[in-house]
Structure 1
Amino acid sequence: MKYLKNVFATTFIMLIIFSCSSKTSVEIEEEVQEEEEIVVVVDDTDFEPTDWTVDTHSKDADPNFDEVFDDTAVKRLDFVISEENWQNMLNDMTSIYGNFGSRGSSGSFSDVDPIFVPGEVFYQGKEWYKVGLRFKGNSSLKSSWQAGILKLSFKLDFDEYEDDYPQIKNQRFYGFKKLSLKNNYDDDSLLREKVATDVFRNAGMVASHTAFYTLYVDHGEGPKYFGLYTLVEEVDDTVLETQYSSDEGNLYKPDGDAATFANGSFDEDEYVKKNNEDEANFTDVQNLLTILNDGTRTSEPVTWRANLEKVFDTDVFLKYLAVNGIIQNWDTYGRMTHNYFLYNNPDTSKLTWIPWDNNESLQTGKQGGSLPLNFSGLNSSSWPLIGYLYQDDVYKAKYDAYLKEVIEGAFQETSIQALYTKYAALIEEYATSEVSGYTFLNSSSSFYSAVSTLKSHATSRKSAVASYFD
């Protein structure tokens, strides 16, 4: 039995990958095939899931955070993907982003996700069967691919293929249905995604759990070391289930002009629903946009705040602004129209902010850099969730209080430097042993230098907050 993916590749590639131990680069043969459909192979339907247990594989088990997201260890995952399906994944990537290793390729950013294929996942001697595996990301995925680096991020969905394999119905990985393996793109320390998310959580915000894993992939030539990854809990899976009383509220992952909440930008298509997709009701986000931009903001600020707080959890957002400003994450709201979730919390009927995708944090950043703590230079009408709230004296006072709370707590200088030391020692041997073609490091010294830079950054942020209040 086979699946057909309705994309047509104009150029396919054949990858010949040498042994990791030899640390040779990836060689590529280009083979042009016109109008070929990518066929995902789904076979071997009669297998028995002999490793299946309630605690490890069943939907009936509660998520085991201690097992999956252990801050004290670097654990190992192995993927086994058939040679044919691996080639299908590469062909699909070529159709989306152009030739592997070609920086000048015509492939562009895409709203199309790469294809899933079924593969086996092994962890500590146990097998998870016919797991849906695909590459994930956008700018980081394209950049890695066109740089000729196969250390690509992955999405895992453990029951993606349950219709084809009834044996794996509601398969879970210690209670988790979906997980992301992020490749720590553009981060020589390999720490930013982990530490930034820790800071949000330690500040009392809803955020994903994370942990370090090494990944080995066997796609027909034996297991190859793909490098050190950060495993990230999915918001539309266990984050909602475990950090809210209910997961039935609308979850949005905005992307595009509407994600700014600027006046007149409302567009249902850009408030991407991650659940309740069949319910064509976007009144919660539409109400937020309307109230946020209402004229009572300046004429009757008490009324404006009261109306805004009926639909939006302003306290959560202001704390997010404080954390995000201190850690300096440019690749999100205020600079970019993506990388956050909004959840309509059933307990409050308010949209609440959830941070996401923090690999670009803990640095000044690109695209004009991270916003200053006082948001100078920000066009308030273009980014009204920041600009309009900061211009309001009541909300500014709350924001200022959160800045003090975070710099004295979740991002206290010596504590965060100690965390860098702890995590760097934990991952050092795995980071510095990444191999050519599967790493973003130029050398092991790049890792040590990046960790040192992070520690200096913590000191500079303490000074930045002090200067803000002075």
Structure 2
Amino acid sequence: MMFSPVFRSLPGVVNTNGLQARPSLARCCLLRCITLLLFGCVVCGPFASAVPSADPTDKFYASESLQTIRLEISPENLDRLQRALPRRISVPGTFQWNDQTLQSVGIRYKGNSSSDPNSPHKRSFLITFSEYQTGQRFLGLQHVALDNGIQFGGLFSERLITDVLRGVGVKASRCNYARVYLNGKPAGVYVNVERIDRTFLERNFDSSGGALFKVDEGGPGAELHYLGSDVALYRKAFELHAGNEVEAFAALLEFIRAIDPSTGDGTELSRALDVDAFLKTTAVLLLAGAFDQYTGWGPHNYYLYQNPADHRWTYIPWDLDVGFADNAFGRVPVLEGWNAAWPAPVPDRPLMERLISDPVLLQRYRQHARTILETWFRPEILIPKLHKLHAQIRLALEEDPFPSRRATVPTDRGIEDIFMSMEKFIRDRYALARVQLDAPGNRPVPKPMAPQPQPQGPMPGPPSADAPTDLRAAKVTAEGVELQWVDHAEGEVAHVVQRCSGVDCTDFVNALGLEGPHVTTAMDRQVQGGKTYRYRVYAVLPTPGGPRGTGVSNVITVTVPER
């Protein structure tokens, strides 16, 4: 850059002889004032510095804030959302935050836990601002994601994990809490989590260019095994969210081919991947018990982004509401099977094997893990944070129409059970990780998940006073049968609707399982026009010997009209 004469004549600017004069404070201030007038990048005064532009989304994602978000959806479109399940369609609606109201935004249910038509739990929402108005944004954001917080980590896992990831310098979503109202009525307390999209890329990587892939439900290639050069083999697992399709998939296959087979040195890997970020992410997810990730048992719930600045890939974790739980689903040995010194619970996963097999990389990982464990995961540090998060939403939870229970832990009776199990995990994980990192020893034999038990659903019991009564068909159309009944059980964890086909049938089978207490409605969409069905329902109670069914309700007969 060429200096103008006024800059060359000021003390402190390199002169034609290459010498630097030491400016006085007043002259330095004068120089900075002129620079401000010309470029708008500094302020005047002895502590003058660059003036960063304020990010308007910082207030929306401020960690100490409990936001209030109001959604409006017409009754007709709300009915469309429900009737389309398990497909998650978008419908037009209105989004309001503070004094900002955006019309004609796209609103849909989000995530697998919100896809079950008969789920009694809170449903997650995804708002897309440009769905019906091209280019529409909210504070520059393309999306707002509202997570229901009903998995193992409740409303707290995602908050705790993303706080640690961002604290150690990993690029991860910002999030806080939101009190959501739907058509003027409380819809519940949600985790307001930043979506991984082009806006996220611009803020974190100073560019929205480059390839961005999402691995949602897994599939071929999701474990980063090289399957060959046919792009079609990878399309099911890798959803392209940004970038030129041909160039993006070519770069993805080049990356996968570089790490599989799982041999090579760390220098080679560092040219293809932001290794330090991945090592830190691996440590955080392990210590938090976030097992439903590539680094744990489930090779999904992550993004891969190739930064055009250096062409390296970054692993970005997503959907972090699963954490802080051992023996999840009675099958996942999170503590016993996930060694903090040998962080590869599933063998033969290429990127994890590269980490384990390279002594230098493994040592770097362990150094990160020790620091992160002591700085972020000590029980006396993490447990108070858990309770501080609860304090933010305690009053808002009082108007949440859904009970403070986790869909994945049907024995929960309330928020106290969530705290008890999470606090126990935090203490046990810290103590075990400390021992493992202090004395790594040899790589342990992998401990696989327990096999999926053969489905042996609950069965109804003998006639009982707590059996449901007054079963009736509230609505019958060619698309489905809506059932209603009166619940008499206490402490139940589910209701089961049984069905058989034919006017005089008696071979009832479990047709619909409805988790949660005090369920009194169900929708059977698996019907055929012109056929006749018989229904009955019973409640399911937890016992030390397993689930026990109450007696059954009255039986009703329903004929479905032709389409």
Interval of TM-score (by shorter of Structure 1 and Structure 2)? 0.7 to 0.9
Distance 1:142 1:86 in 2: 14
**Cα gap change, 1:188/1:199 in structure 2, threshold over 3 Å: closer, same or farther?**
closer
Q: Secondary structure at the match of 1:259?
A: coil
Aligned to 2:157: 192
Tell me, yes or no, if the aligned pair for 1:257 and 1:265 is still in contact at 8 Å. Answer: no
403-412 or 192-201: bigger deviation: 403-412
Aligned to 2:401: 435
**Cα gap change, 1:290/1:444 in structure 2, threshold over 3 Å: closer, same or farther?**
closer
Tell me, yes or no, if the aligned pair for 2:70 and 2:95 is still in contact at 8 Å. Answer: yes
Does residue 448 in structure 1 map to residue 416 in structure 2? Answer: yes
Alignment of 1:66-215 (within 5 A): 66-93=58-85, 97=86, 114-138=88-112, 140-142=113-115, 145-149=117-121, 151-163=122-134, 170-187=135-152, 189-215=154-180
1:380 deviation in Å? 2.9
Structure 1: which 5+ runs fail to align? 1-60, 98-112, 164-169
The partner residue of 1:351 within 308, 313, 336 is 313
AA at the equivalent of 2:132: Y
1:73 deviation in Å? 2.6
Distance 1:376 1:321 in 2: 7
**Cα gap change, 1:445/1:114 in structure 2, threshold over 3 Å: closer, same or farther?**
closer
The partner residue of 1:257 within 211, 220, 245 is 220
Tell me, yes or no, if the aligned pair for 1:76 and 1:215 is still in contact at 8 Å. Answer: yes
AA at the equivalent of 1:337: P
Q: Secondary structure at the match of 1:229?
A: strand
**Cα gap change, 1:403/1:186 in structure 2, threshold over 3 Å: closer, same or farther?**
same
Aligned to 1:53: none
**Cα gap change, 1:89/1:265 in structure 2, threshold over 3 Å: closer, same or farther?**
farther
1:125 deviation in Å? 4.1
Distance 1:189 1:260 in 2: 27
Distance 1:226 1:439 in 2: 15
Task: Choose 1 or 2 for highest CA Rg.
Answer: 2
1:62 deviation in Å? 6.7
For each residue in 1:135-165, what CA deviation from the matched residue of structure 2 results, as whole angstroms up to 9, or x when unmatched?
1112x2235x43333x2111111121115xx
Distance 1:191 1:464 in 2: 22
1:224 deviation in Å? 2.0
Structure 2: which 5+ runs fail to align? 1-52, 440-563
For each residue in 1:37-80, what CA deviation from the matched residue of structure 2 results, as whole angstroms up to 9, or x when unmatched?
xxxxxxxxxxxxxxxxxxxxxxxx97423321122232211111
460-469 or 265-274: bigger deviation: 265-274
Q: Secondary structure at the match of 1:288?
A: helix
1:462 deviation in Å? 1.9
Aligned to 2:12: none
The partner residue of 2:291 within 330, 335, 346 is 330
Tell me, yes or no, if the aligned pair for 2:405 and 2:412 is still in contact at 8 Å. Answer: no
**Cα gap change, 1:376/1:215 in structure 2, threshold over 3 Å: closer, same or farther?**
closer
Distance 1:127 1:438 in 2: 30
Q: Secondary structure at the match of 1:389?
A: helix
Tell me, yes or no, if the aligned pair for 2:106 and 2:130 is still in contact at 8 Å. Answer: yes
Alignment of 1:22-101 (within 5 A): 63-93=55-85, 97=86
Tell me, yes or no, if the aligned pair for 1:62 and 1:175 is still in contact at 8 Å. Answer: no
**Cα gap change, 1:189/1:114 in structure 2, threshold over 3 Å: closer, same or farther?**
closer
For each residue in 1:250-304, what CA deviation from the matched residue of structure 2 results, as whole angstroms up to 9, or x when unmatched?
1111331211012437733022211125445423221222222247x2xxx4xx4
For each residue in 1:5-56, what CA deviation from the matched residue of structure 2 results, as whole angstroms up to 9, or x when unmatched?
xxxxxxxxxxxxxxxxxxxxxxxxxxxxxxxxxxxxxxxxxxxxxxxxxxxx
Tell me, yes or no, if the aligned pair for 1:153 and 1:182 is still in contact at 8 Å. Answer: yes
Distance 2:316 2:425 in 1: 24
Q: Secondary structure at the match of 1:330?
A: coil
The structure carrying a bigger helix percent of its residues is: 1
Distance 1:436 1:281 in 2: 42
Aligned to 2:525: none
Distance 1:142 1:444 in 2: 22
Tell me, yes or no, if the aligned pair for 1:406 and 1:412 is still in contact at 8 Å. Answer: no
242-251 or 125-134: bigger deviation: 125-134
1:443 deviation in Å? 11
Tell me, yes or no, if the aligned pair for 1:284 and 1:311 is still in contact at 8 Å. Answer: no
Aligned to 2:30: none
For each residue in 1:429-467, what CA deviation from the matched residue of structure 2 results, as whole angstroms up to 9, or x when unmatched?
222432258975889962133124323332222212211
Give the number of aligned pairs: 372
Aligned to 2:529: none
Aligned to 2:257: 290
Distance 2:417 2:240 in 1: 41
Give the superposed CA RMSD. Answer: 2.6
**Cα gap change, 1:225/1:251 in structure 2, threshold over 3 Å: closer, same or farther?**
same
User: Quick one: higher RCO (CA 8 Å, sep 6+), 1 or 2?
Assistant: 1
